[in-house]
């Protein structure tokens, strides 16, 4: 398949590729693929959903490198000295940042209480109220978008900076990613529009009423921006000869730690990053709608793919390997 044939296939798709907005690929430091669909331009931003989580893992690493956080073994509650733990709750005192980063933190619910958290005045505090429980720390993998919200509060309390300011200064600017602003509204109708609207977005990040960014979703960036983040991973924390994050953190963050089983395609999980294959070094950040940062160390390739909201798109890594990788190698 040629690049023009791929473009037409995506343009005509009525299946899983029908929501793709942008594809951007970098190989050995050079742009080797850049294409857009459905009225999008290269510079337009998209809500990349749970790819936001993987960006948060990078921010935690930067905070550790800079001494704001001691290590992933630091207790979460230590970073919230003003938080009042509910009477009788003991487990929360044992939860570490590592538990949050590996999705093994315990919570007091069966299914995530979106309405309770997203109608509150302080989403980070509401997420903390869910942390812990009678079962203690079991080490069980429990995918928790709301729980990851705690990491925004961790960054802010540890650094003394708003999480978005921390991201702009220490990650986005060094990568040449445009400065981001908080979205600014968070009522029910706005949340629905932010999720479902298929128009290009600004360089923004969804936020709660206290202007604290959402850590589990809501970052709006382009496929080009995602490919740059992938290059940062490929280069062990460097970008354009500038050290942004330590190689030690990149290695620790992307190391396979948990086998996710059939529900998650038998992938492995690191610190909010996926390892899609057991026998290869491929790394990925994956969000709903098929938003993906695909990192292929073997071929020195980084690919960013953006897509508007579309449920049950689980095959984007396979799509990249089947249709994009052959064009680049």
CA distance 292 to 226: 8
286 assigned to some structural domain: yes
Give residue 293's domain range.
3-51+184-328
What's the pLDDT score for residue 188?
86
The 10s digit of each residue's pLDDT in 38-97 is: 999 999 999 999 999 999 999 999 999 999 999 999 999 999 999 999 999 999 999 999
Inter-residue long-range contacts of 311-319, CB under 8 Å, 24+ positions, other chains counted: 313/16, 313/19, 313/288, 313/289, 314/265, 315/16, 315/290, 316/16, 316/286, 316/290, 316/291, 316/292, 317/276, 317/282, 317/284, 317/286, 317/292, 319/16, 319/17, 319/290
Given a contact cutoff of 8 angstroms between Cβ atoms, the answer to whether 79 and 255 are in contact is: no
Question: CA-CA distances (angstroms) from residue 206 to 21, 33, 152, 168, 311?
Answer: 20, 29, 12, 14, 20
- Say if residue 133 is exposed, middle or buried (CB neighbours under 10 Å; 0-12, 13-18, 19+): middle
**Which CATH number goes with the domain that contains 11?**
3.40.710.10
Domain assignment of residue 88, yes or no: no
Is 281:236 a contact under the CB 8 Å cutoff?
A: no
Q: Has this prediction a pTM greater than 0.95?
A: yes
Q: What percent of the chain has pLDDT over 70?
A: 100
pLDDT of residue 167: 98
Considering only CA atoms, which of 173, 174, 290, 166 is closest in space to residue 223?
A: 290
On whether residue 193 sits in a domain, the answer given is yes
How is residue 181 annotated by DSSP? E
Does residue 307 form part of some domain? Answer: yes
Number of domains composing the chain = 1
Which residue is associated with the tokens 């953006």? 306
Q: Tell me, yes or no, whether 56 lies in a domain.
A: no
Q: Is residue 266 part of a domain?
A: yes
């Amino acid at each position: 398949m040629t690049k023009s044939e791929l473009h037409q296939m995506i343009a005509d798709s009525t299946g899983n590729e029908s929501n793709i907005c942008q594809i951007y690929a970098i190989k050995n430091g050079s742009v080797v693929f850049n294409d857009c669909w459905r009225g999008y331009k290269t510079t337009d931003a998209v809500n990349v959903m749970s790819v936001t989580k993987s960006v948060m893992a990078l921010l935690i690493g930067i905070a550790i490198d800079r001494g704001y956080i001691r290590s992933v073994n630091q207790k979460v509650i230590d970073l919230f000295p003003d938080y009042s733990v509910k009477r009788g709750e003991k487990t929360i005192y044992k939860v570490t940042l590592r538990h949050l980063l590996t999705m093994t933190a315990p919570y007091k619910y069966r299914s995530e209480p979106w309405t309770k958290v997203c109608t509150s005045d302080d989403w980070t505090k509401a997420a903390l109220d869910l942390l812990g429980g009678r079962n203690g720390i079991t080490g069980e993998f429990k995918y928790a978008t709301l729980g990851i919200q705690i990491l925004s509060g961790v960054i802010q309390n540890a650094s003394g900076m708003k999480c978005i300011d921390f991201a702009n200064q220490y990650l986005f600017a060094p990568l040449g990613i445009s400065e981001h602003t908080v979205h600014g509204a968070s009522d029910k109708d706005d949340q629905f529009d932010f999720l479902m609207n298929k128009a290009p977005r600004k360089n923004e990040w969804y936020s709660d009423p206290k202007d604290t960014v959402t850590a589990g979703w809501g970052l709006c960036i382009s496929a080009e921006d995602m490919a740059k983040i992938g290059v940062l991973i490929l280069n062990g924390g460097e970008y354009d000869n500038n050290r942004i994050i330590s190689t030690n953190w990149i290695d620790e963050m992307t190391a396979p730690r948990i086998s996710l089983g059939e529900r998650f395609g038998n992938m492995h999980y690191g610190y909010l990053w996926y390892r899609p294959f057991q026998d290869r070094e491929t790394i990925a950040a994956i969000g709903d709608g098929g938003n993906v940062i695909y990192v292929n160390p073997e071929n020195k390739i980084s690919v960013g793919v953006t897509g508007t909201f579309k449920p049950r798109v689980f095959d984007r890594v396979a799509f990249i390997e089947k249709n994009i990788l052959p064009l680049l190698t």
